[in-house]
């Protein structure tokens, strides 16, 4: 029995040791979103300050754990007045809810380079499960010869689910928010 316990512990340690951390490449990353304004045009924005990490022991990332944090006050829509309004209690209330976070609960291969990413998004003090689509591209960096991976993440959330901009009608700013993120990682 003692040998069996020792073998079990050794297998757990070996499994944990084989998990690889992929380092976030900030120079090749963007966390963006889009909403419809007045039912006629789209306003795009992004978070200038964010960080992401991936840990995976499988080459196809099917066991990946993905985490992301973003500084809400870094929101940028290329309009200072709008950005200030978005940071206010009318929308994100960045002074009270300074960080948004995401932690994956599963990363499932659908077909080829396509995956489904499920996880918990915490925004404006509210945590909800979300599901996103991901396209993964991998390769070898031509200069440093390290493994690289690019993740194109898309999906939709409803701002009302998180209590963001509750007093603003959907005819002014759509309830549906499109998520668009491109992130590059280098194998540690």
Q: What are the pLDDT digits (tens) for 4-48?
A: 444 444 444 444 447 899 999 999 999 999 999 999 999 999 999
Beta carbons within 8 Å of 188's beta carbon, 6+ residues apart: 20, 21, 22, 23
Residue 123: Cβ within 10 Å count = 23
List pLDDT tens digits, range 125-181. 999 999 999 999 999 999 999 999 999 999 999 999 999 999 999 999 999 999 999
CA angle 94, 100, 102 (to 5 degrees): 175
d(CA 35, CA 56) in angstroms, rounded, equals 33
Q: 121, 14, 20: which is closest to 61 by C-alpha? A: 20
CA angle 89, 95, 100 (to 5 degrees): 95
pLDDT of residue 3: 56
List pLDDT tens digits, range 122-131. 999 999 999 9
What are the backbone dihedrals phi and psi of residue 98, each rounded to the nearest 5 degrees, phi first? Answer: -70, -20
Q: Give the pair of three-digit tokens for residue 54.
A: 């991936």
Q: 100, 82, 88: which is closest to 166 by C-alpha? A: 88
Ordered by where they begin, the domains of the chain are 19-187 (2.40.128.110)
Sort 109 into a burial class: Cβ within 10 Å, 0-12 / 13-18 / 19+: middle
């Amino acid at each position: 029995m003692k040998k069996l316990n020792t073998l079990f512990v050794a297998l757990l340690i070996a499994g944990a040791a084989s998990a690889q951390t992929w380092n976030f490449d900030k120079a090749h990353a963007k966390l963006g979103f889009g909403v419809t304004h007045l039912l006629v045009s789209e306003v795009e924005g992004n978070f200038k300050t964010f960080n992401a990490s991936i840990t995976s022991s499988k080459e196809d990332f099917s066991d990946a754990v993905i985490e992301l944090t973003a500084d809400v006050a870094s929101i940028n829509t290329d309009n200072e007045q709008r950005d200030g309004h978005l940071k206010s209690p009318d929308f994100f209330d960045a002074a009270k809810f300074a960080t948004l976070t995401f932690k994956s609960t599963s990363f499932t291969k659908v077909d080829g380079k396509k995956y489904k990413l499920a996880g918990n998004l915490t925004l404006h003090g509210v945590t909800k499960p979300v599901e996103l689509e991901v396209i993964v591209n991998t390769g070898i960096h031509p200069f440093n010869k390290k493994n690289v991976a690019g993740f194109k993440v898309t999906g939709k959330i409803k701002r009302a689910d998180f209590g963001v901009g509750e007093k603003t009608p959907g005819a002014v700013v759509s309830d549906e928010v499109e998520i668009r993120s491109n992130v590059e990682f280098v194998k540690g």
